[in-house]
Amino acid sequence: MVSERSLAVLRAIVQDYVASREPVGSKSIVERHAFGVSAATIRNDMALLEEEELIAAPHTSSGRIPTDKGYRVFVDQLSEIRPLSQAQRQAIETFLGESSDLDELLARTVRLISQLTKQLAVVQYPSFGSSRVRHVEVVQLAPDRVLCVLITDSGQVEQRLAMLEQPVDEETLAGLRVRLNEIAGGRTMTEAAEALSGEIAATDPRHAEVLHTLAATLAEQARVQRQDRLVVAGAANLVRTEEDFAGSILAVIEAIEEQVVLLRLFGEMAADEQHSVAVRIGRENAPYGLGETSVVSSSFAIPGRDVSRLGIVGPTRMDYSQTMAAVRAVARYLSRTLGEN
C-alpha cells in the first residue's frame, strides 16, 4: 500500500522529470520540495514506489523516472486541473473567434491546441451520422440532369447533380420523388445510405434505371454526411520530442496517419466525469500502435451532429495538468460557440 507521502514523492518525481527530462534522485527531491524529511526517508519512499512499479531506474545507479503505471496514478490522483491563465483563455476566444466557417474553425482549433500544448493536435470532424432525413427533393434542370437535394432534421442541406442515361419528364420525376422519400425519409444517415444502396423496386419498370441513378446519388450524399475524418496539426512537435521515444517515431506517425486508428481510440475514450477529459497512457494505447504515447481528449457537441472529440498525441513525458486544461478549455469553447450558432 502506497502511503500519502509516497504519492507526494511520486508527484514530485513526475513534475521534476517532466520539467528536466533527467532522472530524479532523492537528494534533488529534498532540495526542491519541502517534505521535511531526510534523503534516506525519501529513498525508502522511492524504494516502495519502485516495488509497486510506479517508478524505474533507466540506468544503474541513476535517479528514477515514472513508469506508465506511475503516470496513470499521477493523473488519477490529480485533485484539480491547473486552470489556464486569463491571457491563454483570451487567446482562445480571439483566435477561434475570427473563424468564418466550420472548416476554418476546426483548422484554427488544431493549430491552437498544438501551440498551447506543444504536442500533435487532433480534432474529429463533426458528422451527421445520427441526424435523420427529413425530406428528399429532386429538381429537374434538364431532361437528363437532376439536382438531388438531401435535407436533414437538423437543417443541413446537401446537393448533388445526377446525370441520367435517359431523359425524364416532370410527372415521372414527381413519382420517383415520392418513392425516394418512402425509402429514405425518417432514417438516420447511416440507415438511409444502406437503404438507398440496396435493391429498390421501381413502381414502373421503365423508370428503374433512373430511380437507381437518383438513389445512388442520394446514398453517396448520406455517406458524406456521416463520414468520420480528422484534422491534424503539429506533427513537428513529435519530431522535437523524439528523444522521449525509445525507438523510432516513424511507427507513431504511421499510426496517426491511419485515421481510422485514432477514430477507434477516440471512440473508446469516455470522458472523465470529474474533469471532462480522458487520458490514455503508454501501454494502454499499445493495441493502436501508440504504446509509447499518451493521448488526452475531450468532447464537444454541435446541435444536430454526433458528439466529436479533440485532443493531443504526445510522449508519456508531458505536462498532464496543463495539457488537460488546454484540451478541456478549447472543447468547452467549441461546444459553447457552436451551440450558440
Give, in order, the Cα–Cα distances in Å from 72 to each of 145, 228, 242, 326: 59, 29, 22, 19
Tell me the per-residue pLDDT of 195-238, one tens digit each, with 9 for 90 and over.
Answer: 999 888 877 888 889 999 999 999 988 877 655 678 999 989 98
Q: What is the pLDDT of residue 226?
A: 57
133 neighbors 187 (Cβ within 8 angstroms) = yes
Phi–psi pair at 229, nearest 5 degrees = -150, 165
Mean pLDDT of 6-21: 95
Q: Which helix (H) or strand (E) holds 334?
A: helix 320-340
Is a pLDDT exceeding 90 seen at residue 283? yes
Phi–psi pair at 149, nearest 5 degrees = -120, 125
Beta pairing, strands 278-281 & 230-233 = unpaired
Q: What is the pLDDT of residue 274?
A: 61
Mean pLDDT of 251-262: 84
Q: Which CATH class is domain 133-226?
A: alpha beta
CB proximity list for 46: less than 8 A, separation 6 or greater: 9, 13, 26, 55, 64
Is a pLDDT exceeding 90 seen at residue 307? no
pLDDT band, very low/low/confident/very high, at 305 (cuts 50, 70, 90): low
Q: What is the pLDDT of residue 339?
A: 72
Q: What is the pLDDT of residue 34?
A: 87
Please tell me if the domain spanning 4-76 has the same topology as the one spanning 133-226: no
248 neighbors 152 (Cβ within 8 angstroms) = no
DSSP 166-222: S---HHHHHHHHHHHHHHHTT-BHHHHHHHHHS----SSGGGHHHHHHHHHHHHHHH
pLDDT band, very low/low/confident/very high, at 129 (cuts 50, 70, 90): low
Is a pLDDT exceeding 90 seen at residue 242? no
Q: From 1.10.10.10, 3.90.580.10, 3.40.50.2000, 1.25.40.10, which CATH number describes the 4-76 domain?
A: 1.10.10.10
Task: Enter the pTM of the model.
Answer: 0.75
Beta pairing, strands 278-281 & 145-152 = unpaired
pLDDT band, very low/low/confident/very high, at 329 (cuts 50, 70, 90): very high
Residue ranges per structural domain of the chain: 4-76, 86-127+228-340, 133-226
CATH of domain 86-127+228-340: 3.30.450.40
101 neighbors 125 (Cβ within 8 angstroms) = no
Is a pLDDT exceeding 90 seen at residue 45? yes
Per-chain mean pLDDT for the chain = 88
